[in-house]
Amino acid sequence: MRGTSYRTATLLLAGVAFGTPAAVLADAAPAFNCGQAAGEVEQLICRDAELAALDRRMSSVWAKTVQALPADVAAREKVVQRGWIKGRNDCWKASDLRACVETSYETRLVELQIKGGQLQAPTAAGYLCSQDPGKPFTASFYNDTDPKSAVLTWGNDQVIAFVAMSASGARYTTTDVEFWEHQGEARVSWFGTRLTCKLQR
């Protein structure tokens, strides 16, 4: 992540001018330098307190993850992180810019916490789906993330979904994927494919 010196200096001046505690304003800034914010996405993060908080959290989680990984793995993860930043910045193309940026942060944070051993790995729940019984479907539920999340895997494909409102049962969603389970039976929409699955006990 880039430094915060320019942004911090700007906020200190603002605190003096308007009587707002400078430390409070500085804490509201993202981890990168807003004075060098390029593009619609970075500019949005700089003026949105919740997104700025996610960026600060990203900086913290990223540092812990890199420190926990072996040097060669950390080097590869740095390449992945640069790709993630590029993907986040491509959210300007999305129909809902803010939602895209928020989901991008939340998903990557879960990925990093898992890779860095910051989350206790839960036992994966296995499901048998009638549409393709030979292709395993699993769900690992992480209740310690904010928001709660689930790593959903069908065959060789995997996504991170987040808890969503549901009248009953457990429901997790992400772009083009929805997982809804009630009393051991799950209905899944997986990139256009509808699945009916039963929990294997």
pLDDT tens, position by position, 2-51 = 333 323 332 332 333 333 333 334 568 999 999 999 999 999 999 999 99
End-to-end CA distance of the chain, in Å?
44
State the average pLDDT over residues 67-85: 97
Where is pLDDT greater, at 25 or 150?
Answer: 150
Question: How much is the pLDDT for 26?
Answer: 53
Interatomic CA distance for residues 178 and 189, integer angstroms: 5
Of all residues in the chain, what percent carry a pLDDT higher than 70? 87
The structural domains of the chain, ordered by start, are 5-115 (no CATH), 125-199 (2.40.128.200)
Q: Is pLDDT of 129 > 80?
A: yes
Distance in angstroms (rounded) separating the CA atoms of residues 99 and 191? 19
pLDDT of residue 27: 64
Nearest to 1 by CA among 104, 118, 85: 85
Q: Are 192 and 176 in contact (CB under 8 A)?
A: yes
Instruction: Retrieve residue 159's tokens.
Output: 């996504």
* Alpha-carbon span 73 to 30, nearest angstrom: 26
Specify burial of residue 156 (Cβ count, 10 A radius: 0-12, 13-18, 19+).
exposed
